[in-house]
Structure 1
Amino acid sequence: NGIDPAITLATLPQFAHVENGQMAATVKIIPFAVASEKLRQVAALCAGKQIFSVHPFKPMKVGLIQTTLPGTKASVLDKTTRITQSRLARSSSQISSEQRPPHESGAVSQAIGKASAGNDMVIVFGASAMSDCDDVVPAAIRQAGGTVMR
């Protein structure tokens, strides 16, 4: 686009999820014709360089933690596990461990530490909605040596 506004290269945004067969980029000559010198300039600019790329998802081992409160139904936790595994499967990732500690910062912190040891990523679902940055799950993340970013 910088050489001549008639020449347009458009791509999906950086880090966009791309399905097999989906168009990821397009080059358009807007008025349907452009001076050959302009095309040579674009070709020279691109020659020998990687213009863009698409990388596959990296499969990951995931530790799943779901906190529990009195009255938490196992069927709800089981459904969360199934849905999460289904979503992770899209990137060839899998849940390799699952823990269901009580909804207390110390217990959750210990679960995070244990899950961190053998997994690439840890996902924590809290049994109660977070009301502030010092709630049980963020406090547990900090206690386990993590950083809470928002």
Structure 2
Amino acid sequence: MYLATLPIDAAIGHILRHNLADHAGHKLLSKGRRLTADNVAQLRALGIETVRVAVLEPGDVHEDEAARRLAEAVCGPGVIATPAVHSRVNLLAEADGVVEVDAEALLAINDVDGLTIATLANHTLVRARQRVATIKIIPFAVREEELARAEQTARARGSVVGLRPLRPTPVGVLLVSSPAARGRVERGVYPAIEARVTALGSTIVATRFVPPDERAVAAAIEDLRSVGARLLIVAGETSIMDRDDVTPQGIRAAGGHIEHYGAPVEPGNLLLLAYLDGPGDPLPVLGVPGGVRLPDLHLGGLPLPLALAGERVTRPETLELA
């Protein structure tokens, strides 16, 4: 591609580089348009004799076609592409779920001159039809070999931008508190947990209330598992204050292990992530801080949606909260 200023008759079939307005200042022709004979007649009527255009050469790929092809290459499961318009394609979520972005592949593609992909952060919770990424081709055309290199990078990874859909999951809730604080915990903490779970398409199937005793915690965990809970949320009168606090000790006593304690967010840093092995898939346990009452607590932004999307949340995913 090269840029030129041509007589209007010689510009037919080439790409207009800038918007053109009529004598009243109203937009007449938009940049990016391939000029036609009718357009030239419009320009001639305004007394315009030359026009700035982009001229494509053999081996150039038009911006809309480049955007379409790149979208086809980077789209993973659960993501659909809109038609290319003005060198832009939006990638949309097919369902409620968690965005998965291959950061290494994304960086490699964005390193190709003229190609850009902007995405939501990895593991962002999205709703169906929400935009998760935008592909924008910067010039009016890119070279075939450059586009092919980006396509090869994307296809070699399998998915650059994908989606893990939320799965309806039976959830068990364990509330740990002294008898004196039970009413306050049930009125304040439980409704907040229930609202989060319901909003993510899952259901609380059982709730247990126990005093702060590791044996009672362990017994309640085993009980919740036995009645069919496939994810446990533990909360209580106070946040978990240490890896060896009562709740973590109870999780260990039930046969679980602590995956990670502490999250780089405020509020919400006293987050515990644990798993119980046993029959079937490992059972995730989220020990949530008192800030679960807050609607904007980051807890709802990563560990819970990820777990409900069927992903095993580990220490690295928790650190991504920063």
Say whether residues 1:127 and 2:237 are aligned partners: yes
Evaluate the alpha carbon distance shift between residue 40 and residue 84 of structure 1 in structure 2; reply closer, same or farther with a 3 A threshold. same
Separation (CA, whole Å) in 1 of partners of 2:153 and 2:237? 54
Say whether residues 1:34 and 2:136 are aligned partners: no
Structure 1: runs of 5 or more not aligned = none
Evaluate the alpha carbon distance shift between residue 119 and residue 4 of structure 1 in structure 2; reply closer, same or farther with a 3 A threshold. same
| Identity score, percent | 30
Say whether residues 1:139 and 2:271 are aligned partners: no
Residue 72 of structure 1 corresponds to which residue in structure 2? 181
CA contact (8 A) 2:189 2:236 kept: no
96, 111, 122: which one aligns with 1:14: 122
Say whether residues 1:92 and 2:182 are aligned partners: no
| Residues 47-71 of structure 1: per-residue CA shift (max 9 Å, x gap) | 7955432232011111101012142
Evaluate the alpha carbon distance shift between residue 110 and residue 24 of structure 1 in structure 2; reply closer, same or farther with a 3 A threshold. same
Greater mean deviation of Cα atoms: 37-46 or 49-58: 37-46
Separation (CA, whole Å) in 2 of partners of 1:70 and 1:12? 44
Q: Which AA in structure 2 matches 1:107?
A: A
Please state how far the C-alpha of 1:73 moved relative to its aligned partner.
Answer: 4.0
Please state how far the C-alpha of 1:33 moved relative to its aligned partner.
Answer: 3.8
Aligned residue pairs, count: 150
CA contact (8 A) 2:110 2:117 kept: no
Separation (CA, whole Å) in 2 of partners of 1:139 and 1:100? 17
Q: Which AA in structure 1 matches 2:123?
A: F
Alignment RMSD (CA, Å): 2.4
Greater mean deviation of Cα atoms: 82-91 or 43-52: 43-52
Structure 2: runs of 5 or more not aligned = 1-108, 262-322
SS of equivalent residue, structure 2 residue 256: coil
CA contact (8 A) 2:176 2:210 kept: yes
TM-score by length of 2: 0.42
CA contact (8 A) 1:101 1:107 kept: yes
Separation (CA, whole Å) in 1 of partners of 2:134 and 2:207? 43
Using CA pairs below 8 Å that are at least 6 residues apart, which structure has the higher relative contact order?
A: 1
Q: Which AA in structure 1 matches 2:193?
A: T
Q: Which AA in structure 2 matches 1:93?
A: S
Larger radius of gyration: 2
Greater mean deviation of Cα atoms: 88-97 or 39-48: 39-48
Q: Which AA in structure 2 matches 1:62?
A: V
CA contact (8 A) 1:3 1:38 kept: no
Matches within 5 A, 1:101-120: 101-117=210-226, 118-120=228-230
List, as ranges, runs of 4+ consecutive aligned residues in structure 1 with deviation greater than 6 Å.
Answer: none
CA contact (8 A) 2:177 2:185 kept: no
Residue 171 of structure 2 corresponds to which residue in structure 1? 62
CA contact (8 A) 1:126 1:137 kept: no
Separation (CA, whole Å) in 2 of partners of 1:140 and 1:67? 11
